[in-house]
Amino acid sequence: MNECQISAALRPVDIAAFEADSNFQVLSQPGLNLVYLAYNVTHQPLNDGRVRRALDMAIDKQAIIDGVYEGHAQIAVAPLPPSQWGFDGSLKDTPRDLKKAKALLEEAGYPRGFSISLFILSVERPYNPNARLMSEMIQADWAKIGVKVNVVINEDFAKFLKSGGDGKHDAILFGMISVNGDPDDWLRLLSCTTVGSSNFSRWCHKEFEGLIQRAAQITDIAERTQLYTQAQKIFKSEQPFTPVAYVTDYQVISKHVTGFKINPLGPTIFSGVGLR
């Protein structure tokens, strides 16, 4: 029997090979994760919502799902995933429309486009196996509406986090996995209280802030969900970041392993696991 019985993670490119091998079981479930592209709203022209919406609708998200994730993800539409209670199922992704994106830029005063920086982390993450490829695809998409992108590559995670918190970027490609399974975990990414740390958009919206702060003080899930639904609609209209993808969780285990379940919050749980 092989020494390794349970994998730590599974790259999208390897899934098909393991699924075809009878020695393994490939488990999957919707992930509690989000990949997103944050716009630093303290930098011009990203302080203009029309510009942010133009950038959002210029991105071919389906191409990213297919090219980066081998189809093992879905297009993101909100700042929290569908597997999270409180998710607003009425939200839809804005259709890709280069003509409309160019019109928005012209309306905002940028008929010839502009130049921005895009910070990425080159190290593979569970929610993003290839940030370089993703950034190149975004760069090519934005070039079609006249926006030139300087991709700034970071190789150290701690330094990358610090640069994001410091707000040196114009745009930054990042992601997260929930640590507690609560909607507040996601929406704090856009809180006024996290500007300078995890709020890479540096966006502070009074009404949005009031909604998430009230929701955090309430225990009734239905009431909290109403508040979070309102907050997500504000997010959608303001577009402080582009939700890119919700990544499906995969884990490969030996055919001899029994009772194993993927933990959507990350850490591997071995309680109830056995061998046959």
User: At residue 50, what is the residue type?
Assistant: R
Domain of 149 in residue numbering reads as: 31-247
Q: State mean pLDDT over 42-56.
A: 98
Q: Residue 225's Cα: distance from chain center in Å?
A: 21
pLDDT at 15 over 80: yes
Res 217 pLDDT > 80: yes
> How far is the C-alpha of 45 from the C-alpha of 3, rounded, in Å?
55
- Whether the upstream peptide bond of residue 111 has omega within 30° of 0, thus cis, is no
Domain with residue 6: its CATH number is 3.40.190.10
Closest CA to 239 of 93, 129, 134, 96: 93
Looking at the fold, whether 6 and 142 belong to one and the same domain comes out as no
Number of folded domains that form the chain = 2
266 vs 261: which has the higher pLDDT:
261
Q: Note whether 66 and 36 are same-domain residues.
A: yes
Whether residues 102 and 237 fall in one domain: yes
pTM of this structure: 0.91
Verify that 78 and 100 share a domain, yes or no.
Answer: yes
Query: 213 or 248: which carries more pLDDT confidence?
Result: 213
- Higher-confidence residue: 15 or 234? 234
The predicted-structure confidence for 82-135, as pLDDT tens digits, reads as follows 999 999 999 999 999 999 999 999 999 999 999 999 999 999 998 999 999 999
Q: How many Cβ atoms are within 10 Å of 170's Cβ, its own excluded?
A: 22
pLDDT of residue 87: 97
According to the model, what pLDDT value does residue 149 have? 98
Q: Does 262 lie in the same domain as 146?
A: no
On whether both 46 and 18 belong to a single domain, the answer is no
- The predicted structure's pLDDT at residue 2: 53
Positive or negative, the CA dihedral 240, 106, 168, 154 is positive
On whether both 24 and 154 belong to a single domain, the answer is: no
> Do residues 138 and 22 share a domain?
no
Q: Provide the β-strand partners of residue 39.
A: 171
Regarding whether 136 and 257 lie in a shared domain, the answer is no
Q: DSSP string of the chain?
A: --S--B-S---GGGHHHHHT-TTEEEEEE--SEEEEEEE-TTSTTTTSHHHHHHHHHHS-HHHHHHHHHTT-EEE--SSS-TTSTT--TT--PPPP-HHHHHHHHHHTT-TT-EEEEEEEE-S-BTTBS-HHHHHHHHHHHHHTTTEEEEEEEE--HHHHHHHHHHT--SEEEEEEE-SSS-HHHHHGGG-GGGBTTTBTT----HHHHHHHHHHHT---HHHHHHHHHHHHHHHHHH-SEEEEEEEPEEEEEETTEES----TTSS---TT-EE-
CB 222 within 8 A of CB 62: no
Same structural domain, 242 and 257: no
Q: Is the pLDDT of residue 206 over 90?
A: yes
- Res. 5 pLDDT band, cuts 50 70 90: confident
Separation of alpha carbons 162 and 196, rounded Å: 9
Question: Tens of pLDDT along 54-84?
Answer: 999 999 999 999 999 999 999 999 999 999 9
Query: How far apart are alpha carbons 84 and 181 in whole angstroms?
Result: 7
Residue 5 CA: distances (Å) to CA of 12, 31, 87, 261, 263: 19, 22, 35, 13, 17
The pLDDT confidence band at residue 252, using thresholds 50, 70 and 90, is: confident
Same domain, 205 and 276: no
What was the pLDDT predicted at 185?
A: 94
What's 122's domain CATH number?
Answer: 3.10.105.10
Q: Are residues 189 and 253 in the same domain?
A: no
CA distance 128 to 222: 32
